Each structure stands twice: as C-alpha cells, then as structure tokens.
Chains A and B, each alone.
Chain A
Amino acid sequence: MSEIVVSVKNLKKSFKDFKALKDVSFSVYKNDVFGFLGPNGAGKSTSLRCMLSLIDSDDGQIEIFGKSLRKNRFDVLSNIGSIIEKPDFYKYLSAFKNLEIMARISGRQVSKSEIEDIIHFVGLKGREYSKFKTYSHGMKQRLGIAQALMHNPDLIILDEPTTGLDPQGIVDIRELILKLSKEQGKTVILSSHQLSEIEMIANRMVIINKGKSIIEGDVNELLNSSQMMVKFSCEEPERFCDVMSKEFSNISEFNVTASEIEFEINREEISEINAFMVNQKIKISGIEHKRKLEDYFIKMIQNED
C-alpha cells in the first residue's frame, strides 16, 4: 500500500443544533484520484472545508502529508491547491492580478513567467488582462484551476470542478486530472455530482451520507462486489422470463416491457445467461447495463435511509 496523503478520522462538526458531520473517516493515498461522493447536504463541502481549515471541526483528526492540520497549518496548506464550491476572485482585478495576489500568499515562490505558463496551460492566454467580472462561467472555472495548480502542490482538492463547463471543457478537465495524477504524481480529491466522471477517472472513493462516511474503497472492487442492473433485449420476453425463473432461481424480480427485460445480477452471470438463452434458441438482440456507479450510489444511499 502506498503512502497515506490524507487521513481523516471520526470528523464531527455541528452548526448550532444541526450536526453536519457525525462521523466521517477516510484515507487518501499518494497518486490517488479520490472520488468524494454524496447527495446534497451529505457533508461533502463541510468535510472539505475542515480539511482546508476554513471551518474548525468539533472533534476528530485530520492529518495531511503525515502532519496534523491543526498544528502544521502553514506547511500543509502550502502543499495543497483547491477549489471549493465555485472559484471566486476579485471581480475588479484582471485574472493575472488575481493570480499574483493568490501567488503572493501561496507559501511558495511563484514567478510571473510561471503565472503566464499556468494561464496558457488552462487556456486563458489572451484574456489574462481582462477583468474577472468579464469572464464566462467556464473561464472562471479555468482560472480557479490555474490558482489551484500554480504553486505546484502535491495535493489538489477540486469541488465540482466541471460545473458549468461545456462538453469540451469537461473532457479537458478530466484529461487534466488524469495527467496530473499519472504524469506528475499528484494526488487529487475530486468531489462531483457527475458520477460518470468519478467512475471514469477515480481509482478510489468514499460515499458520504447524512454526515457519515458509508463506504470507502477501490472503485472497481466496490462496483464489482455488488449486483448491477442489466437489460436484455429479445423478441420473446415472456419466454425469457420463464426460462430465467426455472434455471436462475436466485433472480426473481423482472421488469418486463414489450421487448426488454431488466433485472439485477452479478457481472459474471451476464455471459452465462446469454449463453444459456442462445442454447434455448431465444434470440438476444442486445445487452446493456445501466451506469454502475449511479446504481451503486443510489443503493448505498437507500440502504442508509
């Protein structure tokens, strides 16, 4: 197992009578692209804010790079780049001036040429001297990413980084995150509502609901350990169901439409069922499974409820 970069244990936080975090624990390893999932109000942003010392937790431990955040705030934050919620900058200043201001207190020496490079890197070249208030939503997101990366941190925390981006922008950010992780060895914590995005790029994840971490682990292992919803298309759906009931007695619930049958099975059973139906002369014209993480996520949340 590689080095632990972030260790959060039993994090608790209340706002007056409301318990925003009841017990959040998770670990992020070096080079992870770590998915941070949860429904609205689950406590994702509060957890991230605690990790960045924007809010003080009531109880629990946060260690980043093996150091206590509370005792080593300067060292720890010098090595983190982040966007929390949406990137907000001084609207009356240009993008370049905004980055200069952030760079000055980033804890590391950032030269003007490095700022120019990062502006070029996020695709804002030519607009760096325009005032922030003239920027589109997508440009603001790109500038947010620029300020998160410009001091070359080892840990990057991105809270909904693709919100408001066009499809090309989403692809660019996705590729950027993978590049940061694979080529530059960065560790990325990615909070997103885009489950497909997490599924595509995260190797590990945690799901948070009602202020508690429900499950944490390797994305592929977690998804393969559970059943998935699979849809078979065929000409004789009723016969398909009869055969299934007799031969696969563990599957009892089917959603049947005119030419489709939908049910939950383990991943390895798909080919077995397909082969069996072919033997039974039932023509299968299509097999598709729903987005796995979406199902898994909903299932975990419903179990908790």
Chain B
Amino acid sequence: MLLKNTYNELIKILAKPRSYIGFIALTVLIGVILLAMKADGESFISFVTASFEQTLSFNGLILNGNLIAFIILQMLIIHVPLLVALVTGDLVSGEAAMGTLRMMGTKPISRNSFLLSKFLAGAIYTFFLTVWLAFLSLIIGQYMFGTGDLIVLNSDGLVIIPENDIMWRYGLAFCLAYLSLLSIATMSICFSVFSDNSIGPIVSTMAVIILFTIIGSLDVSTFDYIQPFLITTHMASWRSLFEIPVPYDAITDSIIILLIHIIGFTLLALWRFNKKDINT
C-alpha cells in the first residue's frame, strides 16, 4: 500500500503546475548566472583574484565549469529550499484544503503509510530537483566554460584543487546538498500536517529558513549554543568537501544533525497525523 500510494503521490505531483515552478526557476536563475558569467566572468574573476596578484600568478583557465558550479551552488543553496517547500509544504495541507484528505482518509490505507508515501514522494521530487541543479550548474557549466583546476576562496585562504580531484567532491557535495534539501522537505511536510491551508506551511518553512539563517550569521554569544544544531548551519557543509584536507569529522557531524532533523520531523509528523481529526 505504501508503494502504491507513493505512485499516487508522484502522479499528483507531476500533474500539479506548481511542481514545475522549481525546475523553471532553477533553469532561469542558473541560465542568467551562466550567461552573465559568459559575458562578464573574466572581470568578475579578476576582481576576486586582484588581492592575490602581488603574491601569486594565475595561469590557465580559472573561469571554468567547476568554478561556475561552485559559485552557483553557493548562491542558490539557501534559495532552493524555498522551491522545495513550495511543493512539499502543500502535500498534506493542500489535500486538507481541497477536501481530498477526507476522501483518502476513508480508504483502507493506514495513516502511517499515507504520510510516509508523501515523505517518499517529497524525497523523490527533491532528488530530481537536486539532479537538475547539478546538471545545470556542473554539466552545462562545464559544457559552456570547459574544465580546469578549481580555485576556492575560504576562511583559511585560497585552495587550489586539481582538475582530476574535483568530480568526486562534487558528487558528495550534491549528496550533502540533497540531504540538506531533504531535511527542509521533511520540515515542510511536518508543518503541513499541522495545517489545513496550503499557504501556511510554505510560509512557515520560509520563515524558519530565514530566521535560522539570520541566527546562524549573527556573531552573538547567546546563539553559540544553538547554532551547531540549526539546519541552515549544516546546509553549507558541502563547502567542506572543497577543503584540503577534507574535514570528515565536521561533515559527519553535519550528516548526523541533518539525519536527526529528518527523523525527528518525520516522527513528529506521524504522531500528529495519527491523532489528527479529519474535519475538513
């Protein structure tokens, strides 16, 4: 029944126009970034490298597809969750608002299976959105700009990663990005269980992301205790894969925190959904 209803959920997601907004938005946003970089990327790069020119000499293809993918991922990782929430935040509350939750609730499917099928469908949707993000930023980026060594500026200074040492890092980076987006998807589905209107959970998810991002960026000692546990703190953990050496302990911690969020939101949603009176 779980798999049958997951198939149902995918049909519903595919039929809803709003499901394509994320893909269209990513295509437009990344398209604009790629075209802007194509037109004026060299001056953008020289602006960044200018401060190092007295000590370093840069040769070769610096503005390549690998760098473009890094820039895009950094720019969009905070915004893509909003596109995910647009679909996942509506999965339960949208049905409650439409009245179809009442129809589905009379069918012989357990509430656990019904909700878990929504989580599975949300996870599949998020997966394809992440794949689309990877395809546009990395594959199209490499097609348009070629490949080369990746120069990354982080808090410790410049890191230069050889061309043949990059792809596995991107593979893992997109896996981490997927895990981050999945935690947002489960959070928005959880909010969706608590609501009977489709807008509330989407706005709530956006509000939480914005709030956590602000808390995470504020250098206030009061927040030091909670910052390590916020989803948004670990949404940037993919960047650690582009350090030498790779801080695996920190990445593992991020994975654990994100998984705890995913499991926690799922359990909370299941508990609430099983107690929920379907009155709509």
Q: Which residues of the partner chain B approach A88 to less than 8 Å between Cβ atoms? A: 98-100, 102-103
Asked if B11 and A107 make an inter-chain contact with CB atoms under 8 angstroms apart, the answer reads: no
In the assembled complex, how far is the CB of residue A141 from the closest CB belonging to chain B, in whole angstroms? Answer: 13
Write the chain B residue with the least CB distance to A84: B102
Asked if B108 and A74 make an inter-chain contact with CB atoms under 8 angstroms apart, the answer reads: yes
Q: Bound state CA distance, A102 and B98, in angstroms?
A: 15
* Secondary structure class of chain A's binding surface, majority of residues: loop
Asked if A54 and B277 make an inter-chain contact with CB atoms under 8 angstroms apart, the answer reads: yes
Write the chain B residue with the least CB distance to A75: B108
Let me know if A56 is at the binding interface, CB within 8 A.
Answer: yes
Let me know if B17 is at the binding interface, CB within 8 A.
Answer: yes
Q: Which residues of the partner chain B approach A147 to less than 8 Å between Cβ atoms? A: 103
Q: Which residues of the partner chain B approach A86 to less than 8 Å between Cβ atoms? A: 99
Let me know if B278 is at the binding interface, CB within 8 A.
Answer: yes
Interface 0/1 of B47-68, CB less than 8 Å to A: 0000000000000000000000
Select the stretch in A91-99, A161-169, A244-252, A289-297 that faces chain B: A91-99
Q: Bound state CA distance, A94 and B46, in angstroms?
A: 55
Select the stretch in B2-10, B151-159, B230-238 that faces chain A: B2-10
The number of chain B residues with a CB under 8 A from chain A is 26
Write the chain B residue with the least CB distance to A131: B15
Asked if B11 and A101 make an inter-chain contact with CB atoms under 8 angstroms apart, the answer reads: yes
Asked if A82 and B106 make an inter-chain contact with CB atoms under 8 angstroms apart, the answer reads: yes
Let me know if A121 is at the binding interface, CB within 8 A.
Answer: no
Which residue of the partner chain, among A80, A87, A91, contacts B103 with CB atoms under 8 Å?
Answer: A87
Q: Bound state CA distance, A90 and B100, in angstroms?
A: 7
Asked if A77 and B278 make an inter-chain contact with CB atoms under 8 angstroms apart, the answer reads: no
Q: Which residues of the partner chain A approach B275 to less than 8 Å between Cβ atoms? A: 56
Chain A residues 49-89 with CB under 8 Å of chain B are 49, 52-56, 73-78, 80, 82, 84-89
Asked if A73 and B107 make an inter-chain contact with CB atoms under 8 angstroms apart, the answer reads: no
Asked if A55 and B278 make an inter-chain contact with CB atoms under 8 angstroms apart, the answer reads: yes
Which residue of the partner chain, among A93, A97, A106, contacts B107 with CB atoms under 8 Å?
Answer: A106
Let me know if A258 is at the binding interface, CB within 8 A.
Answer: no
Q: Which residues of the partner chain B approach A101 to less than 8 Å between Cβ atoms? A: 8, 11-12
Which residue of the partner chain, among A15, A54, A76, A97, contacts B102 with CB atoms under 8 Å?
Answer: A54
Q: Which residues of the partner chain A approach B108 to less than 8 Å between Cβ atoms? A: 73-78, 105-107
Let me know if B104 is at the binding interface, CB within 8 A.
Answer: yes
Asked if A90 and B4 make an inter-chain contact with CB atoms under 8 angstroms apart, the answer reads: no
Q: With A92-B16, A101-B11 given, is the CB distance from A80 to B106 under 8 Å?
A: yes
Asked if B106 and A54 make an inter-chain contact with CB atoms under 8 angstroms apart, the answer reads: yes
Asked if B8 and A104 make an inter-chain contact with CB atoms under 8 angstroms apart, the answer reads: yes
Let me know if B110 is at the binding interface, CB within 8 A.
Answer: yes
In the assembled complex, how far is the CB of residue A146 from the closest CB belonging to chain B, in whole angstroms? Answer: 12
Let me know if B105 is at the binding interface, CB within 8 A.
Answer: yes
Interface 0/1 of B3-41, CB less than 8 Å to A: 011011001100111000000000000000000000000
In the assembled complex, how far is the CB of residue B101 from the closest CB belonging to chain A, in whole angstroms? Answer: 9
Asked if B98 and A77 make an inter-chain contact with CB atoms under 8 angstroms apart, the answer reads: no
Q: Which residues of the partner chain B approach A104 to less than 8 Å between Cβ atoms? A: 4-5, 7-8
Let me know if B43 is at the binding interface, CB within 8 A.
Answer: no
Q: Which residues of the partner chain A approach B105 to less than 8 Å between Cβ atoms? A: 52-54
Q: Which residues of the partner chain B approach A53 to less than 8 Å between Cβ atoms? A: 105-106
10 pairs of A and B residues whose beta carbons are closest in the complex: A88-B99, A77-B108, A107-B108, A55-B277, A54-B278, A78-B108, A52-B106, A74-B108, A105-B109, A105-B107
